Amino acid sequence: MNKSRLEAFSDGVLAIIITIMVLELKVPHGSDWVVLQPVLAFFMSYLLSFVFIGIYWGNHHHLLHTVKNISPGIIWANMHLLFWLSIIPFVTGWMAENSFARNTVIVYAVLLLVCGCAFTILQFAIQKANKLYPALEEAFGAVKRKGYISVICYTAAIGLAFVNTFVSGFLFVAVAIMWIVPDKNIEKALKNE
């Protein structure tokens, strides 16, 4: 079983998820500047989700780059991840339409938490099917640490949403920035191979 079709299919699904979100940006009636105001909440939440899916694409890319053997376990762990990621446009739209109301922020945080867990499951499935050399094992560990920090932040964001949704939003942005800052471990490990 070759990994190129797994990558191609995942790329396709991720590209569609990231792009159909824009369909939630409904064209407003009229051309006055004021009609753009309700669009702003959509724009902000679209930007946030775009960055998150972009991060998942980048990490997915890195993760599969290291893989030699594709097991049925990897295929289904990958499907599982794509399923939860495909829900993001729906929850993003719900959050935007209600101007970041508490319940919507909670559901968004729960979804990010579930996606984070699904990604970790995919990592375990890959490690089970592929014997990693030590340097790569270390790099995997670094990504997992980031994953654990994310999961803690999302859990905190769920609790804190009951106090103040702005704090939750701040945590989302903080997690995104943590991931955007490039992780040189896997690349270094691959070069040292």
Site of interaction with a copy of itself (CB under 8 A): 1-2, 5, 7-9, 11-20, 22-25, 27-33, 36, 47, 50-51, 54, 57-58, 61-62, 65, 72, 75-76, 79, 82-83, 86-87, 89-90, 93-94, 97-98, 101-104, 107, 180, 182, 187
Shortest CB 104 distance to a copy of itself, Å: 5
Q: Please say which residue, 79 or 152, places its beta carbon nearer to a copy of itself.
A: 79
Six token digits for residue 62: 């890195």
Helical H runs in 130-192?
134-161, 165-180, 184-192
Buried/exposed 74-92: b ≥16 CB within 10 Å, e otherwise: beebbebbbebbeebbebb
Q: Please say which residue, 129 or 152, places its beta carbon nearer to a copy of itself.
A: 129
Angle in degrees, 0-180, between the axes of helices 165-180 and 134-161, rounded to the nearest 10: 170
Shortest CB 83 distance to a copy of itself, Å: 6
CA 64 from centre of chain = 16
Query: Coil, helix or strand for 153?
Result: helix
Q: Please say which residue, 97 or 138, places its beta carbon nearer to a copy of itself.
A: 97
Q: Please say which residue, 146 or 152, places its beta carbon nearer to a copy of itself.
A: 146
Shortest CB 27 distance to a copy of itself, Å: 4
Shortest CB 106 distance to a copy of itself, Å: 10
Q: Please say which residue, 2 or 134, places its beta carbon nearer to a copy of itself.
A: 2
171-175-181 Cα angle (round to 5): 145
Shortest CB 69 distance to a copy of itself, Å: 11
Six token digits for residue 89: 């446009």
Q: Write phi, then psi, for 3 (nearest 5 degrees).
A: -80, -10
